[in-house]
Structure 1
């Protein structure tokens, strides 16, 4: 087994461990919810998942760095696992099944393995550099690819929270992109970028993100044939914002967002 295939296998094992915890705590009557300093919620499940992933990595990859939403950590040179134990915590704590564990392996600043596991949806997505992008559901596994839409007027667009555009970019700019597209929704968080990767929607944009929110999507979307960048067009997962697309629409979407500021 090649090194990258072994890394992907480990990431999938980590997702299995996470799923055992999250599914057991989802809609639990005794779920413990607290607020972090930035006022975002955190549940006992978030912390338990990250701790479980760190415990496995301490045995299986003791020399690798780990950076997670709940326990912190820095990503420097070399190998680092970037983890969001539950992306969509607000959905998780309200009983909405749209949430997922996000796991990425970053090598020298570039994600090379990405896994997104959404057990309440019965879905999982994964990719590795040069290995293609895949998804699984009740019907089995399949290779995925982005859409072939080439004009914004035919495009399906998504974001997370419209209010974030007011503080971090420009609501007018995003609304200009809405007006340029055929249809729009707010599928939000991880799901919209997975939908881009599998060709169900064409563009997803977020005005503000953390590295652990989007690291898996840099490899997932690009391996599916699309493009990943921040809102300046830089192909990096730690730029503080994100735009994913089928590639054909990327420059046009960036231009609309820039012109509307």
Structure 2
């Protein structure tokens, strides 16, 4: 990973933002269902195709894995893409959605960019370079996780509680909510960004794909927090995710494992 890689990822996010801004709330937005019944819009595919075209020219030796066009991550370098995380929000006109871009080297994310143009926010990080956010195109601001040290003072978020019924255990998640001070469902990308900038202390998801969370491993860790799956493994491809400020991580894992 070099500073050029981060700059390239930020430029990819700029290209993605130009497409998503133009298609957000468009009256002619095309929406289809994928085989898993999740929605995909013409903006999703347009963003991924545009990003892949730039990567093919700039990094022809790198692998690419994306939500809409597939691909695999192996040894070496790979770019992991989610063209629009929060597609359901996007197609309904809710502004909480983002393009997710990660560079993975030998299985570990080393660059992460999360761009949410409808919110006027962007978050990014690179190994050894800290975690940063930009609001409305202003100056970058370094971010860090909160200092909350007890679950009974912690602020927790998830995505859809029904996902815990289908893929994990709602009772385990409810036990965690009861142990925490406050709970919300900010959902998808936003909750992990809020963990990284210290606005909340925990975010848990029972079912995720690699492209949903790859940028957050480097973002949260560079902000001083922890990133694991619900079994406690430090991996972005474990099928679930728990991000935290680090202080409350083990206590949360203990409740989710019971």
TM bucket (normalised to shorter chain) is over 0.9
Tell me the equivalent position of 1:39.
37
Could you report, residue by residue, the CA deviation over 1:152-186 in whole angstroms, capped at 9, with x for unpaired residues? 00000000000000011100000000000000000
CA-based RMSD of the aligned residues comes to 0.6
User: How far did 1:140 drift?
Assistant: 2.9
Could you report, residue by residue, the CA deviation over 1:99-144 in whole angstroms, capped at 9, with x for unpaired residues? 0000000000000000000000000000000000000003532000
User: Is 1:159 paired with 2:158?
Assistant: yes
Look up the SS of the partner of 2:115 in the other structure.
strand
> How far apart, CA to CA, are the structure 2 residues paired with 1:136 and 1:17?
17
Tell me the equivalent position of 1:192.
191
User: Is 1:218 paired with 2:217?
Assistant: yes
- Structure 1 runs, 4 residues or longer, greater than 2 Å off: none
> How far apart, CA to CA, are the structure 2 residues paired with 1:25 and 1:179?
40
Unpaired segments of 5 or more residues in structure 2? Answer: none
Tell me the equivalent position of 2:238.
239
Tell me the equivalent position of 1:111.
109
Unpaired segments of 5 or more residues in structure 1? Answer: none
Could you report, residue by residue, the CA deviation over 1:17-75 in whole angstroms, capped at 9, with x for unpaired residues? 00000000000000000000000000000000000000000111010000000000000
Could you report, residue by residue, the CA deviation over 1:207-256 in whole angstroms, capped at 9, with x for unpaired residues? 00000000000000000000000000000000000000000010000001
Look up the SS of the partner of 2:118 in the other structure.
coil
> How far apart, CA to CA, are the structure 1 residues paired with 2:3 and 2:88?
33
- Under a length normalisation based on structure 1, what TM-score does the superposition of the two structures give? 0.98
Q: 2:127 aligns with which of 109, 126, 129?
A: 129
> How far apart, CA to CA, are the structure 1 residues paired with 2:21 and 2:223?
28
User: Is 1:228 paired with 2:227?
Assistant: yes
Look up the SS of the partner of 1:18 in the other structure.
helix
Alignment of 1:24-35 (within 5 A): 24-35=22-33
> How far apart, CA to CA, are the structure 1 residues paired with 2:41 and 2:79?
21
> How far apart, CA to CA, are the structure 2 residues paired with 1:4 and 1:114?
13
- Under a length normalisation based on structure 2, what TM-score does the superposition of the two structures give? 0.99
> How far apart, CA to CA, are the structure 2 residues paired with 1:140 and 1:219?
21
Number of matched pairs: 257
Look up the SS of the partner of 1:135 in the other structure.
strand
> How far apart, CA to CA, are the structure 2 residues paired with 1:179 and 1:141?
36
> How far apart, CA to CA, are the structure 2 residues paired with 1:242 and 1:38?
20
> How far apart, CA to CA, are the structure 1 residues paired with 2:20 and 2:248?
35
